[in-house]
Structure 1
Amino acid sequence: MADDSHGLVATLAAAGSRILAPFAWLLGRLIEPLRTGDGPNKFRLSSVETHTTTIDGDTGWAYRPPAMLGCPECGAGILQSDPRDDIDCPSCSATFPPGEMTDLELRLLICPVCRARMEHGQRHPEAFDVPEWATCHNCQYHWEFKHFY
């Protein structure tokens, strides 16, 4: 009789753990971001200047996302990872200074967080020849060109 009751208790305990397992998993997912550890803070919050509801963001030309530009010589794509980097074509070896970005075709901006294609645009096309904002719909990163009105 003792062996049967022990087996019944083990069966009930296993059934209970299967029922409670999803709740334990959910509780763990909710508590994990609040735990402190040895590493840096992992919370990603949008910059105050961007005034968005995005998860992460930056403001200013120095923090502009990587850009894919079109080479006017051969039509190849040129990746300019940083806005201060020279624009060097990998196909034909044409080189342009960073300031000539406005003279080249801007094909896309690449999200620095998840590497997805960003939606971008201009708010003042008659005043600026560069993108003034970019948003990643994949990870909710947002960038704003900082300027004074």
Structure 2
Amino acid sequence: MTPNYIDLGLSSPMSVELRKLVEEQLIVDLKYYDVKSDNLKFDWSNSCIEGHLSNHLNSSLENYSEIYVYDNSNNLIAEGWMDYINSSEYLDKSTFFITYWDNVIIWNNKEKLFEKLEFGIPNHIWEKIPENLKKFLKNDKLKKIQLDNNKKGFSK
């Protein structure tokens, strides 16, 4: 597959500022899955809307699927779905915002190294969420995990 770094797919409503933040946070999250490089490029051209709509930094975003991440040699490094926690959906005047990989496959030279199958807020993201926000997210996290508890996934 040839990467397309120009076409933003259905993620096009995201502002440049918000996209930069989202990509930076997704790169940080990839480190949890043992991706070491910071020099990664995103292909949003096939991105699909998956139903979680919000606004942040005066821009709209969704949780998107079919996001591809490549290294500087255009080798596929990761692909998957992203989701996010935007505290302003739950608490007025709250500014906590974080994106993470909700479902991700990690690649190295066309070899699948790892696949996170379960949906829901991963433990390493949960630990970063302010306590006053967790009470709003706990039920959503449990519902997502219960729906997918028959799948084998990754836990660290």
TM range (shorter): under 0.3
Structure showing the higher strand proportion among its residues: 2
Greater Rg by CA: 1
When normalised by structure 2's length, the TM-score is 0.22
